[in-house]
Amino acid sequence: MPWLWIAASATPTEKPNCPKKCGNITIPYPFGIGNPRCSLSKSFLLKCNHSKSSNSSSKLLLGDLPVLNISVAEGTITVSTYVPYYCHNMSWAGLDYWSYQVNLTGTPFTFSATENRLVAIGCDALGYFRDSDATWFGSGCVSICYQPVNLTREGPCSGIGCCQTQIPNGVKTFNMSIQALLFNYENSRYFGPCNYIFLARKDWFDFSSIDLKSLTNVDRKPPTVLDWVVGEETCESMDLSYASSSIYPCGPNTNCVNSNNGPGYRCVCKSGYQGNPYLSESQGCKDIDECLDQTMHRCEGTCTNTQGNYTCHCPLGMSGDGKVACRGFRVTTIVAGCGMIIFLAFMIIVAWIECKRRKKHRNFQQNGGSLLKNQKIRIFSEKELVKATENYDNNRLLGRGGSGAVYKGVFANGSLVAVKKPNVADKTKIKHFQREVIKQAFQHEISIVSQVNHKNVVKLLGLCLETKFPSLIYEFISNGSLFDHLHVKRSAMLKSWANRLRIAAEISLALDYLHSLADPPIIHRDVKSMNILLDEKFTAKVSDFGASVLIPFGQSVVDTKIHGTHGYLDPEYLITGLLTVKSDLYSFGVVLMELLTGQKPILRRRNPEENVNFIQYFISSVEQKKISQVLMNCEDVDRRESEQIEAVAELAVRCLNSSGIERPTMKEVAEQLDGLMKSHDTFEAQEND
């Protein structure tokens, strides 16, 4: 059987105790040295000439050819060959050429047609080769030189002083010969007397002029590449014969490939595997983990290694095969984008909250918070008031005045309050509001109401200073204003003279307190039925001190800008601009008139020019003893009550005197009304007994 028949002992498994190197050259299976069991066959058994002086200088031999390198992946072995040469001054038995023969017949080795080049060097040199019997083939090249030729530049072998040619496929034996075509003494003297020929690896040789003069077989041993196979059949025929037998040299995870340089085949690892295809599974072709090296896979998503391959999974949120392309957006990108949006939104919210906090703090400071927070008055937050008033819903609106709107507030504990919020909706009034309300309604109202403690004065519970314009929080008065009961509801409660007298007395007591007992004295400056509130027991309470003025010590007259409500405004104050406590007397006189008659001070008609000043009509009726024609009907009025009504009417006329000095004091009015009320109560008690 030819060399391909392999004994069972040569089955491709890991060979224990087999040398791995000879000198510096690694010996991969199917090659081996020493014991024949270490190689695939005798043809692959190499010799290692060990050096006694140094292991690194040991020589590995294929026959008598020194081995330079072995490649299992390429199926090649590189050996060192010789350089035949012929010199013109040589005379060897009349021979005019020299040759070198190599024979690889009967071995798995073949001269590589793709990796080698036949090179001839010299002037007038003919280099050629042929098979050993000169019956199969022959080929060569000619190198000729003519003076003058510049050969000092290194470069490829191009035909001037050097020529090269390929060899055909399947060459196992050939003779290399070199001879002179025509001896030229001048060329010999200029370039050198010798011609050379060799077969070498195609990338080994670069031609230069020095090669013509000094190249010898002593210092130049060119590397020559041999292809090798492990079987002489084709893969197709071998598969039909013994591919599954125990002598098949290829290991697991391998493919059989036909040689492209003559008959035979060799083994290679399948795609996705690497290693020695002639060894067993544990040592031969092993799976490549492509996922560990990004240069070995193209994967946009998650790489998962498989036997001989790998798979790609697109990132979560994307679709596709992962190798060519993934479409859509990564979940990480989406999450990152959403996270960035959430972060930006969070930062905007934080910045907005911080901006509001700073704004509230600035407003608090500008509204006198540093001073007021140390006084015995509660400071409410804006958040508390917004929640209590349902964000100042219109359904909570109790009333609206020149300086602000009043809303009903309900706290979490069920307590009720009245929130007076500055009215800044009209932008044209902002400057006026800042000047009048902030300086007067806020500063004066706080300083006034915070020091007033009277049962017939609405009590200030606290302040909110966080807004641009501060808000005042009062006790909640449940039964609305006297104006509503007189002119809107026409309340049955007011049909009782006793109730009207009591309300008048309570108002006078509150105003007397402001004029006489408050320190310093206070002029309300806007006494009217709309600013008289009635609680659940219909007790009168004076409210709205936004226009009030403190009377400086030692003074009785204040020079100030005209402020008040048309119909209630003191005519003397209107003319002179001088405000006194008697101005409140006139306004109170108007309220008394409303209680007596149930009429507004100005009776308005469709044509403003036809409006009626009811105050003058009232005064005229009282002075002419025709009071009955203007009085509001009372239930069961007896003679005693009629006398009280007339007395109160006359008191009202005194308060309505156009001259302030002629008006009584509020103390006198309060004493008279209080006396009438007590007298009425006493008489009622006696009647009931």
- In this structure, which long-range contacts are made by residues 561-566, counting pairs with CB atoms below 8 Å and at least 24 apart in sequence? 563/525, 563/526, 564/525, 564/526, 565/526, 565/528, 565/530, 566/602
Please, what is the Cα angle at 338 between 337 and 340, to 5 degrees? 65
For residue 11, pLDDT over 60 is answered with no
CB 384 within 8 A of CB 480: no
Render pLDDT for 207-259 as a digit per residue (tens, 0 to 9).
665 555 566 544 568 899 999 999 888 888 876 455 555 578 888 899 999 99
For residue 136, pLDDT over 70 is answered with no
C-alpha 83/C-alpha 224 separation (Å) is 11
The average confidence (pLDDT) of the chain is 81
Non-local (6+) Cβ contacts of 127 within 8 A are 118, 119, 120, 140, 141, 142, 143, 163, 176, 177, 178, 195, 196, 197
The pLDDT confidence band at residue 9, using thresholds 50, 70 and 90, is: very low
Average pLDDT in the 584-601 region?
94
The pLDDT confidence band at residue 487, using thresholds 50, 70 and 90, is: very high
User: Can you read off the two tokens belonging to residue 420?
Assistant: 């007076």
Q: Which fold has domain 367-475?
A: Phosphorylase Kinase; domain 1 (3.30.200)
Q: Where are the alpha helices (DSSP H) in 598-665?
A: 614-623, 639-655
CB 532 within 8 A of CB 587: no
CB 611 within 8 A of CB 604: yes
pLDDT at 112 (0 to 100): 94
CB 507 within 8 A of CB 540: yes
Render pLDDT for 607-638 as a digit per residue (tens, 0 to 9).
877 788 899 999 999 999 888 888 887 777 78
For residue 367, pLDDT over 90 is answered with no
pLDDT at 610 (0 to 100): 75
pTM higher than 0.75: no
pLDDT at 30 (0 to 100): 92
Domain 82-221 has CATH 2.60.120: yes
- 308-312, 450-454, 534-538, 618-622: segment of lowest average pLDDT: 450-454
Average pLDDT in the 655-683 region?
91
The CATH superfamily assigned to 482-688 is Transferase(Phosphotransferase) domain 1 (1.10.510.10)
pLDDT at 518 (0 to 100): 80
From the centroid of its chain, how far is CA 486?
A: 65
pLDDT at 78 (0 to 100): 96
From the list 477, 312, 467, the residue with the least C-alpha distance to 380 is: 467
C-alpha 23/C-alpha 68 separation (Å) is 11
Please give the positions annotated as active site: 526
